[in-house]
Structure 1
């Protein structure tokens, strides 16, 4: 087996193991609605074994970045329908990533109300808003009743994704956003049933997973985690122990897949306590996707070594809409342009060239 081999994920037979990782691109410029640019962008990349969309807000309270799409209004659902229909017409498969940013936000996004989090712990640094850069604030710690309401928002988002024609959903539990904030003891200092032990800190994630699986099917539900991540001022006292437990716990749900972000260069530079992929592979028995700076060669080796079943590529897929064909033919790769990652026009979004076929 290698990256070009087919794979069964959930109820789907996928053409290859070269997945498109979720990447925020900030092109939803009107009411957080997917637009025609986004239709073209995802359709250009339909040869991926599986597309996982950019992180998509489950509610207005989940917003933390300008021009990012949502899945909580009828207009947004209709916008996404155009994306899924076009991707399916090209033979592709596509999951929507469900997102709540938690404390990684600002009152500027919420009519002056505080962002929410498991505990009242302010992240270091600042965030970009429609009004420019703003320093992070101390978030509002969620009550148990508010937590239950957010679980309901995940259910609604998952159902809306199915209405929009997606093949499944990925629950974003990584990168320092709300679910990750509950999982880590550096951001979760609660003393109720959602804090303290790793079993309690995993409760929020498990409640969401159970609810989403019940709503749309476990075979259409994935989860993404970043056990070694330091992005968004994240830390944990013993991530190897804690995330081994979390991965083992996820075996109960018969998910479509578990998506793991490896420690990135920035994480290591910021003192990450690195959790080796092999440890998580031993803990999780289902389909496992690896992500994080992979090359074609490293991806193939990771699959051959049994450490992962598929690999999600981010910046390489951004810059190479026909990445599977380039890997297959060992063709030269386009270079990503970071200056256009988060702009609002077609430059650096729709204009990366595909291979010229004779």
Structure 2
């Protein structure tokens, strides 16, 4: 890509306080799910190197990949969890590395709902659940019926267990593993986003119907976690305009601004009485998950959120599209409370922070390697001054292994 201009003399490289911690700059590693955990969902040696390399610039904030809050919150193969002692021990080693680099970490707690794999859930003896039995695709419905695990609505009792048992346990485990922040994943068509949006929430009980009811599970999880985690370590991710996972976004019967204004306003009410979250992470309408949206097809604007929420934002979504000038990035950080998330270019540039600071050329990412299970395209990227050679035929043989010394439990 075009060599970016140096951003070292901009607000991007001024310190900013997030919760109780001061970051040295406003570049954030946004979550990048990459399927390199062990088969039992324990973080691996590959992930240890991956996060270690990307936290090398002191004072950085590293958001780790989407992580299963509970087994019922899955399942995808080789995605990490935070619901067993082994998971905690694996993440602890990763956080020790991040902290040794004098950087900070945030875990993204994930729950799949209707986009989970019904076959893997069946094999684990778990139901295939969602707010309502609205399949994400015909293929998902076919697989669910073939394996005898059809999608069904969560019962109110099960919702209470998610709120009062599963998320608190995940949060306690995350704190034990040394994470500095805990981010609730309520975006991109996963379970909590499914509750928020009318196209996927057709319930008639207190968790469906009105905006207040559809937002209830999200806000109750926040309220339960506040005394456990502390507001200054708690965060949430939202994607008001995302159509990823066949969400309807602005096509829905209730406009996204109406729904998400309510949620953000409720979070601000909590902030007003002393419970201000560390940040709200917003997905910009320039992307749908890891894919760019052409300008003529972009719908929506997150400006409404800034008029409601007075705390920090992390905004992510194709902030390299107008390089080398980075006009959008520079405009967004002018409010002195916005940090900018990068994911794809942070994968292919382990030293991204330095490259943005010094105006060094960015190495293009390779999409075909995103969701494989070996080391090729994962830990085979050089920092700017490095020229290590990697042979694809050899690196595809390198697969995830336990982190040395992590599991003596």
Pick one of 87, 94, 118 that aligns with 2:131. 118
Find out whether 1:303 has 2:320 as its counterpart.
Answer: no
Pick one of 183, 194, 208 that aligns with 2:196. 183
* Alignment correspondent of 1:104: 115
- Deviation, structure 1 residue 249: 1.1
Q: In the alignment, is the contact (CA less than 8 A) between 1:20 and 1:52 conserved in 2?
A: yes
Pair member with larger Rg = 2
Residues 105, 272 of structure 1: alpha-carbon distance in 2 compared, 3 angstrom cutoff: farther
Larger displacement relative to structure 2 (257-266 or 279-288): 257-266
Q: In the alignment, is the contact (CA less than 8 A) between 1:230 and 1:272 conserved in 2?
A: no
- Deviation, structure 1 residue 106: 2.5
Residues 313-328 of structure 1 correspond to what in structure 2 (within 5 A)? 313-328=342-357
Inter-partner Cα distance in structure 1 for 2:91 and 2:351: 22
* Alignment correspondent of 1:79: 90
Inter-partner Cα distance in structure 2 for 1:80 and 1:209: 23
- Deviation, structure 1 residue 264: 3.3
Pick one of 349, 370, 374 that aligns with 1:345. 374
Residues 258, 265 of structure 1: alpha-carbon distance in 2 compared, 3 angstrom cutoff: closer
Inter-partner Cα distance in structure 1 for 2:147 and 2:303: 38
- Deviation, structure 1 residue 125: 4.9
Specify which structure has the bigger relative contact order, considering alpha-carbon pairs within 8 angstroms and separated by 6 or more residues.
2
* Alignment correspondent of 1:284: 309
Pick one of 184, 196, 221 that aligns with 2:234. 221
Inter-partner Cα distance in structure 1 for 2:19 and 2:311: 10
Inter-partner Cα distance in structure 1 for 2:307 and 2:299: 16
Name the Cα RMSD after superposition.
Answer: 2.2
* Alignment correspondent of 1:275: 300
- Deviation, structure 1 residue 257: 0.3
Q: In the alignment, is the contact (CA less than 8 A) between 1:4 and 1:324 conserved in 2?
A: no
TM-score by length of 2: 0.81
- Deviation, structure 1 residue 265: 4.7
- Deviation, structure 1 residue 126: 4.0
Residues 342, 260 of structure 1: alpha-carbon distance in 2 compared, 3 angstrom cutoff: same
* Alignment correspondent of 1:335: 364
- Deviation, structure 1 residue 138: 5.1
Residues 240, 27 of structure 1: alpha-carbon distance in 2 compared, 3 angstrom cutoff: same
- Deviation, structure 1 residue 346: 1.5
Pick one of 44, 58, 61 that aligns with 2:72. 61
Q: In the alignment, is the contact (CA less than 8 A) between 1:25 and 1:68 conserved in 2?
A: yes
Residues 201, 307 of structure 1: alpha-carbon distance in 2 compared, 3 angstrom cutoff: farther
Structure 1: segments with no counterpart, 5+ residues: none
- Deviation, structure 1 residue 111: 2.3
Find out whether 1:244 has 2:269 as its counterpart.
Answer: no
TM-score by length of 1: 0.92
Q: In the alignment, is the contact (CA less than 8 A) between 1:8 and 1:14 conserved in 2?
A: yes
Residues 141, 273 of structure 1: alpha-carbon distance in 2 compared, 3 angstrom cutoff: farther
* Alignment correspondent of 1:42: 51
